[in-house]
Amino acid sequence: MADRKVYTDYFFDEPAFNTHDGGYVPLKEPDTPQEKLKIPALLKPDKETDTDMYYTVIAQTGETQLLPGAKTKTWGYNASILGQTIVFKDGKNIHITLKNELPELTTFHWHGLNVPGPITDGGCHAPVYPGESTQINFKCNQVAATLWLHAHPCPATAQHVWKGLATTVIVQDQTESQLPFPRNYGVNDIPLVLQDRNFHENNQLDYMADYDPDGIQGPTPMINGTINPYFDVTTQRLRLRILDGANRREWRLHFSDDLKFTQIASDGGVLPEPIDFTHLMLTCAERAEIIVDFRGYKPGDEVTLYSDDVPLVRFRIHQFAKDDTTLPDHLVDIPDPDITPNTKIHQVVMAGMDEEVEINSKKFDMQRIDDKQKVGSVEYWDVSNTNDKTGGMIHPYHMHATQFRIVSRNGHEPYPNEHGLKDTVGVNPGETVRLKVWFDKLGVFMNHCHILEHEDGGMMAQFEVYDPDHPKTYKLMDMDTLMTAFAKERGVKKEELNIPGMHM
């Protein structure tokens, strides 16, 4: 373990960091009392057998004590904000009742989960209307990973996530269970959902007041729905499942004392080998599982996790037992199938900023299929960002229904922690990232920038995974139907509806 290289660089292009945005909102350390970090409860299955798991997931309104004084009106899954952590087990048949107790339609998108589309995947084509419920069923056939569930209703994804509709999903499998990782949930295995918010009068959120077409940001860090959190460390090693769940913000993470930590997993699961860092940058929707070893600290010490120079979580060290566990140099084998001969190289060009964002010179159209790939075929996708390095921004690119391999960045090796499975990749201005992509589920799916205001604003496309021997026709939702429903639910005429992105 001592011989591994320690990386001290954020890797991404510094001139394109969000700190250079014209509308950048710097984080500020909250001046409120420290609060114990909220650890989401595990969602209890309605029933579980040797072969099947049954869940009910409820999108609901609530009020959350985020700041002293008035509670904040929020939305969540089986909770007032964010949600209870959902566990799937590889190989089991999953049955989920999706209930919408919100005042307006929403969708339930399983980000990173390999499921059929467009309905089970839960993108724009799968609205669940207020007071209604629907059922999805799928076989969980996926390696252990930290995924997430979030709302994805076009074009109100950003608003719904800002209100709180995002929660952690954990897939478990036999291979990961044999590795020497901490996995006592809530004690030494902790989800960390990193978000930021701006609070208005009476501690309320006001999305429209804060709206920025390049992505809404707030000055207050919110971790697991906690403002100014601390965590009591009672074990020498701590596993953090970190999700950038923000609408726009990048997180440049480091600990006090430049404490070294080890990344063991990325979006799609365990990395082939552990990677040591002192600094780690996540773009929107990316996940990183890290292990932090507090062996050099004693009871009463405090170790702080920062983004740039702003404290996010304070880790209060208590008495812990000595732990000499070491990680093997090799963790898991990552699938790396050969490219299918005679297949095209797909081109995805992300361009523009503000309201001018596009993919391949087009705004998103819910009824247009922009690309196709045969199920089981392995193909290259070249994803480019045409922004300039000066004045441009990093676009986090996400594909539904797959975990891909990053082949190269502008023809060079990907970053050291990008050799595992991924579903989201930050693309620097002027850069082309080559991906190796394959699918084993049929359907119509979305690919887009995961700055949520960008996808709402049209930096999104659709592709179909097809079987030529069994062609399918999909009834795709249209924007007019969704806008009519939103107007009715919000009690306004359709022409009075104010949802940024609706006129894309």
pLDDT tens string 482-501: 999 999 999 999 989 988 87
Half-sphere exposure for 491 (CA within 13 Å, toward CB):
1
Q: What is the DSSP letter of 455?
A: H
CA gap 32, 465 in Å, rounded: 49
Q: What SS3 class is residue 357?
A: coil
CA gap 174, 178 in Å, rounded: 7
**Which amino acid would we find at residue 108?**
F
- Residue 401 tokens read as 């229904």
Helix, strand, coil % (nearest 5) of the chain?
Answer: 10, 40, 50
From residue 58, alpha-carbon distances to 48, 115, 117, 131, 154 in Å are 18, 20, 21, 11, 19
pLDDT tens string 379-395: 999 999 999 877 899 99
Cα Rg for the chain, rounded, in angstroms? 21
- Residue 91 tokens read as 């190989």
Alpha carbon dihedral 128, 133, 138, 142, in 10-degree steps, equals: 70
pLDDT on residue 503: 66
The residues with which 192 forms a beta bridge, in sequence order, are 242
pLDDT on residue 1: 44
- Residue 31 tokens read as 């001046």
Largest CA distance in the chain: 65
Half-sphere exposure for 67 (CA within 13 Å, toward CB):
20
Answer whether the bond into residue 118 is a cis peptide, omega within 30°.
yes
Please identify every stretch of the chain with a pLDDT value under 50, giving residue numbers as ranges. Answer: 1
- Residue 20 tokens read as 């250079």
- DSSP alpha helices (H): ranges in 234-337? none
CA gap 19, 281 in Å, rounded: 13
Q: Check: CB of residue 378 under 8 Å from CB of residue 337.
A: yes
pLDDT on residue 3: 79
**Distance from the Cα of residue 375 to its chain's centroid:** 25
Q: Check: CB of residue 64 under 8 Å from CB of residue 81.
A: yes
pLDDT on residue 501: 77
CA gap 283, 423 in Å, rounded: 12
Q: Check: CB of residue 238 under 8 Å from CB of residue 190.
A: yes
Q: What SS3 class is residue 59?
A: strand
For residue 203, count CB atoms less than 10 angstroms from its CB and return exposed for 0-12, middle for 13-18, buried for 19 or more: middle
The residues with which 402 forms a beta bridge, in sequence order, are none
pLDDT tens string 125-174: 999 999 999 999 999 999 999 999 999 999 999 999 999 999 999 999 99
pLDDT on residue 189: 98
Alpha carbon dihedral 442, 448, 453, 458, in 10-degree steps, equals: -90
Domains annotated on the chain, with CATH = 7-12+183-317 (2.60.40.420), 20-175 (2.60.40.420), 346-470 (2.60.40.420)
Residue position matching structure tokens 């592709």: 463
For residue 468, count CB atoms less than 10 angstroms from its CB and return exposed for 0-12, middle for 13-18, buried for 19 or more: exposed
Nearest to 282 by CA among 186, 418, 83: 418
